Structure 1
Amino acid sequence: MRTTPILQFGTSRFLQAHADLFLSQAMEAGQDVGPITVVQSSGNPARAKRLGALIGSYPVRIEGLKDGQRQQETIAVQSVARALSTERDWVKIVRIFVNEAQIVLSNTGDAGFAPNARDSALQFDQAMSYPAKLTQLLRLRFAAGAAPIQIMPMELIADNGTVLKHRVMQLAEQDPVEFLNYLDRDVVWVNSLVDRIVSQPIEPAGAVAEPYALWAIEDQPGITLPCDHPSVQVVPSLGEIEALKLFILNLGHTFLADRWLRARGSQDIFVRNLVQDTTELTSLKDVLNNEVRPAFVAAGLEDQFDPYVDTTIERFSNPFLDHRIADISQNHSQKVTRRIAAMLDWAKAQGDHSIKPILTEIVAYNKETV
């Protein structure tokens, strides 16, 4: 068995069509990266069948629009050399983490990050959260005198690397100061932001995804890129990319959902149906250009704003993606707060005090209907 310098916690279809695919393409291009050991950390028996099917080769079908042209291709992903489960393979995982791993990826979701009553146990327990399992592994690597390691969470949490480091430091607060110094000095905790719509699984392993993909990695001293790939970007700060995604793409989704809920909320339609409607598309473009754009101009992000809007509209128009507006409208009032009300506050913080009647009315309306 080849050594696997990348250890990945999580088997989601997102990872299959994102990091695993990028690494596979980099390996095929001759880059000295990978392969990957994938670890199922949840113990979910429904996903157990997926593990074995990840090894060797699995398909990712890319479907959508890119630069106005329809794109349909199937890519064979061949970056996974080994697949294990924390529930049954903990001893093997410890060996790989201590002796082989150079980079650790994770996408365990909110459930995987959530604190657990067993997190403070001195010995490994399957019920532990992902941060607690990682703490156990880091203790063992430190005790073995192993080399530094890079931790790259991909969960959709702002400052995800910083958050994970803080949680691990909390769990290790009673450990010797030497271990705490190791966590702070020899472990590189990386903040990143990932984006790709992965619409459905292919059984037993594989996925269907849109052409657009992004893995934005915040620069810091000592960082190592997992691979060289067009979708992997190193940026000085994630703040700009987070603002673009939250206040254009996510806000756009919530704006369309708000209009749909008020006008015809019982009709089951897709996002692409709305942007094919001239009235709906014009309304979306008007609010983005007239009410959102001034904030990005004030923030000095005008050059990034216009192409990002074009890409967003193209993603919304994906003829292959069955993205239901009813799904987007779930937890609508909370999304209005996080995406639209937050944009209004952000705009003022950038020095943009222009009136925004449509977005202001949406926030007020949803406050009244909560």
Structure 2
Amino acid sequence: MTNRLSRSTHPGLTLHPERMIQFGEGNFMRAFVDWQLQQMNNQGLFNGSAVLIQPIAQGTGGVADLMAAQDNLYTVLLNGIMDNETVNSREIISSVSRVINPYMDYEAYLALAENDDLEFITSNTTEAGIAYLPGDRADDAPPKSFPGKLTALLHRRFELGKKGFVIIPCELIDRNGEKLREIVERYAADWNLGAEFLQWLKSENTFCCSLVDRIVPGYPRDQAAALEAELGYLDNVMVTAEPFLFWVIEGPESLTERLPLAKAGLNVVVTPDMTPYRERKVHLLNGPHTAMVPLGLLAGLETVEDVMNDGTFSRFVKQLIEEELIPMLDLPAGQLLSYADAVQERFRNPFIRHELTSISLNSISKFKARLLPVLLRYQQERGQLPERMTLAFAALLLSYRGDRIPRQDGAEVLAVFDQAWSQPDSFVNTILGDSSLWGQDLTRLPGLADAIAAHLQQLEHEDSRAALQELVG
């Protein structure tokens, strides 16, 4: 029987002091942030590990328990093409010290405030994670929301008279650092934590906006047995990722020395303005992902590679990018086309299995962030709706009926859809008019309700591939 990965099977791995608190223990952060910490440690540039915080309540058997069973070690497998070279690497990551479940041990979580070595906080709690929940209270143990938990930790740090943190959220929402800071300050006011704490928040902490880019399919279920034989150990939390990586951090230049990612040879940019990088990535990589998911799943496709190997679907992706997304972005067309070509090459990576269901998590907030701004601008500037984006929007709404595609979203969002779908004749106007989902009343957008209704009727009677064939030729 193969031994489980642990420090007893690999005794030479260094234990590093905890220097980063990371909200989110999922595949992406472990293959992105923690992998980068490993690269700095390998070169003697950082000497630090991350302590991971489980952001949502769940029972036993989750990532925290699986990590603990492996002494918080796991393997990152990089597979793909990089600089015209095939990359097929395996590396044991030892840059995670432990995973804390604040729902089980809140005091262990708050005790992190006592550690002077900790100076960075990162997070990826999905696009829906940076949100204000009115029900969160200062005496909750813990508060339900990520910003609520963060506020409690920062207040404990302030009470101890210690220095603040550099806080770098990785959630794919615009101005993520600023929005997180605003919500923390709102909780501080709601909880009457005092003017001195608010001043400490502003003067002693740096909230950085950031943009992350790496495709991380996650645990390789289909290859697990073969990989166990190849690696010589059992790893229940190994994670696959593409070799490409890009991280833009909007922050002070001094951060390049405190967190020497670029010095370690990593594709990381610290800049005073990340806006151009964000628009390019969110709309040209994440946007096509969000558009292809419901249409692909309705057609029985399983992976991004399946989509790109299907003639009809690949034409849809190419036309969506070149005819609807790129014209709406304020960057040089040549630069955008070059980036778009690279994105589509990454989508075709034959070495990783990027499942559409894994991308579908919280698709409503993803559509709002990634595609809705472009759809609105397109209609405003051209006086018509972008056809491919509108069809994808309709497919997304249909997928949230829950009878054809498994839904993965917050209970509040699913409740809104269940209520709306209970009255199918009024569904379109009800759901488009719900500003809690979209930040505005979309029934006011000329032609959108009628177009969505027509597409829904079409998708009810045709395979999504047939609908696409009519659209893309």
Note whether the superposition's TM-score is higher than 0.5: yes
Question: Given the alignment, which residue of 14, 20, 23 partners 1:9?
Answer: 23
**Larger CA deviation: 182-191 vs 340-349:** 340-349
Counterpart CA distance in 2 for 1:67 and 1:51 is 33
Q: 3-state DSSP class of the match of 2:283?
A: helix
The aligned amino acid for 1:366 is I
Paired position in structure 1 for 2:201? 183
Q: Structure 1 residues 87, 290: CA separation in 2 closer, same or farther (over 3 Å shift)?
A: closer
How many angstroms does 1:14 deviate by? 1.2
Conserved in 2, the CA contact under 8 Å of 1:6 and 1:105? yes
Paired position in structure 2 for 1:210? 242
Deviation by residue 1:321-359 (Cα, 9 ceiling, x = unmatched): 33455776899898777655532444688xx76998754
Counterpart CA distance in 1 for 2:55 and 2:368 is 33
Paired position in structure 1 for 2:285? 249
Counterpart CA distance in 2 for 1:141 and 1:259 is 47
| Runs of at least 5 residues in structure 1 that lack an aligned partner in the other structure | none
Q: 3-state DSSP class of the match of 2:248?
A: strand
Deviation by residue 1:87-129 (Cα, 9 ceiling, x = unmatched): 44444443432332111122233565455566223x3513532
TM-score scaled by length of structure 2: 0.66
Counterpart CA distance in 2 for 1:337 and 1:2 is 40
Paired position in structure 1 for 2:126? 109
How many angstroms does 1:163 deviate by? 1.4
**Larger CA deviation: 197-206 vs 165-174:** 197-206
How many angstroms does 1:30 deviate by? 1.5
**Larger CA deviation: 76-85 vs 165-174:** 76-85
Taking CA–CA contacts closer than 8 Å with sequence separation of 6 or more, which of the two structures ends up with the larger relative contact order?
A: 1
Conserved in 1, the CA contact under 8 Å of 2:128 and 2:365? no
1:315-330 matches, cutoff 5 A: 315-324=346-355
Q: Structure 1 residues 53, 104: CA separation in 2 closer, same or farther (over 3 Å shift)?
A: farther
Deviation by residue 1:258-310 (Cα, 9 ceiling, x = unmatched): 8758xxx44335332332345544454345334443334xx233343123112
Conserved in 2, the CA contact under 8 Å of 1:154 and 1:160? yes
Counterpart CA distance in 1 for 2:283 and 2:320 is 11
Q: Does 1:368 align with 2:454?
A: yes
Counterpart CA distance in 1 for 2:111 and 2:358 is 42
How many angstroms does 1:199 deviate by? 1.4
The aligned amino acid for 2:36 is F
Q: Structure 1 residues 88, 256: CA separation in 2 closer, same or farther (over 3 Å shift)?
A: closer
TM-score scaled by length of structure 1: 0.82
Question: Given the alignment, which residue of 271, 280, 285 partners 2:318?
Answer: 285
Paired position in structure 2 for 1:233? 269
Q: Does 1:60 align with 2:76?
A: yes
Paired position in structure 1 for 2:56? 42
Counterpart CA distance in 1 for 2:345 and 2:166 is 35
Paired position in structure 2 for 1:167? 183
Counterpart CA distance in 2 for 1:335 and 1:93 is 29
The aligned amino acid for 2:285 is L
Q: Does 1:300 align with 2:315?
A: no
Counterpart CA distance in 1 for 2:360 and 2:107 is 44
Counterpart CA distance in 2 for 1:16 and 1:218 is 22
Question: Given the alignment, which residue of 275, 290, 294 partners 2:308?
Answer: 275
The aligned amino acid for 1:274 is V
Counterpart CA distance in 2 for 1:91 and 1:142 is 16
How many angstroms does 1:222 deviate by? 6.2
The aligned amino acid for 1:305 is L
Q: 3-state DSSP class of the match of 2:61?
A: helix
Conserved in 2, the CA contact under 8 Å of 1:188 and 1:223? no
Using the aligned pairs only, state the percent identity: 28
Q: 3-state DSSP class of the match of 1:215?
A: strand
Q: Structure 1 residues 205, 293: CA separation in 2 closer, same or farther (over 3 Å shift)?
A: closer
Counterpart CA distance in 1 for 2:333 and 2:236 is 44
How many angstroms does 1:31 deviate by? 0.3
1:140-151 matches, cutoff 5 A: 140-151=156-167
The aligned amino acid for 2:454 is E
RMSD: 3.5
Q: Structure 1 residues 181, 332: CA separation in 2 closer, same or farther (over 3 Å shift)?
A: closer
Q: Structure 1 residues 243, 38: CA separation in 2 closer, same or farther (over 3 Å shift)?
A: same
Counterpart CA distance in 2 for 1:338 and 1:49 is 33
The aligned amino acid for 1:190 is C
| Runs of at least 5 residues in structure 2 that lack an aligned partner in the other structure | 1-14, 221-234, 394-447, 457-473
Q: Structure 1 residues 271, 13: CA separation in 2 closer, same or farther (over 3 Å shift)?
A: closer
Paired position in structure 1 for 2:223? none
Conserved in 1, the CA contact under 8 Å of 2:37 and 2:46? no
Conserved in 1, the CA contact under 8 Å of 2:54 and 2:102? yes
The aligned amino acid for 2:82 is K
Q: 3-state DSSP class of the match of 1:253?
A: helix
**Larger CA deviation: 1-10 vs 13-22:** 1-10
How many angstroms does 1:223 deviate by? 4.4
Q: Does 1:310 align with 2:310?
A: no
